[in-house]
Amino acid sequence: MAVYLTGDTHRDFSRFQEDVFPEQAELQKTDVMIICGDFGGVWDGSPEEAELLDWLDARPFTTLFISGNHENFTLLSSCPRERWRGGMTRRVRPSVRLLERGQMFDFDGKRFFTMGGASSRDIPILERADPLFSVRRKWHEYRKNVYWIRGETWWPEEMPSESEYRTALDTLDRARWSVDYIVTHCAPTSVQNLFDLKEAQSTGSYLVNRLTDFLEEVSRKCTFDCWFFGHYHGNYVIEDRYILLYDRIVRLAP
């Protein structure tokens, strides 16, 4: 089987068109394409979205994704929960699945540990129940600020829950802290810190948080070959084995 990985799609699946990704002509449903978060294909539940997901499901390969910080977690949690290839998933379509957090999957005899999620709480979050909602929204629009609305464009589930952290630790304990590949949306703190800190301060999106620190602990304790992640919208190899993916598609050596 073939294992491909790519970065944030944000609902734009044009990279999976036949002319952009011609390798798919040789692929089957046993082959997988893993998106490192910010899938964005489960967002508004519209008929257009259903068509898009059907198109994805009609690709010759299986599409898998971990969660990023731009997903509709309410809709995702309504998808059937199923154990598949060794770990828990949400079945969006027969061949489109969310790989849950803290899980271990077996692809081609290799062990993949998955831990989606990232923080975007530096962006103002508005609540419709707030009596000043309209005023605040107008103010942000006037200032051309990016803002999100809780439960509509932002969900607190973008970060793992206590139970997901516990599940992750149990999974790694069972694996004796030895895996082949790690797939996350954000990076361990020390890897994230290698990015331009000035830029991080201005965008505010690369701040250290509980998840990056948790991943830091994993990176120090766990034996692994390669760590794939998204979130930072670039394609880089960092210190040989941390692979940041955005629009590139890479294939693991058979």
Binding site for Fe ion (CB under 5 A): 8, 38
CA separation for the pair 39, 66 (Å, rounded) = 8
Residue 8 or 216 with smaller CB distance to Fe ion: 8
Strands (E), the chain: 3-6, 32-35, 62-65, 81-84, 87-93, 96-99, 103-107, 110-115, 125-126, 148-149, 181-184, 226-229, 236-238, 242-244, 249-251
Residue 8 or 180 with smaller CB distance to Fe ion: 8
Residue 150 or 233 with smaller CB distance to Fe ion: 233
- Supply the minimum distance, in Å, between the C-beta of residue 67 and Fe ion: 11
> CB of 48 within 8 A of CB of 19?
no
Residue 16 or 39 with smaller CB distance to Fe ion: 39
Residue 224 or 246 with smaller CB distance to Fe ion: 246
- Supply the minimum distance, in Å, between the C-beta of residue 182 and Fe ion: 18
Q: Which of 157, 171, 73 is nearest to 118 (CA)?
A: 157
- Supply the minimum distance, in Å, between the C-beta of residue 26 and Fe ion: 29
- Supply the minimum distance, in Å, between the C-beta of residue 186 and Fe ion: 10
- Supply the minimum distance, in Å, between the C-beta of residue 123 and Fe ion: 12
Q: Which of 156, 160, 149, 220 is nearest to 184 (CA)?
A: 160
Adjacent-strand bridge partners of 242: 227, 238
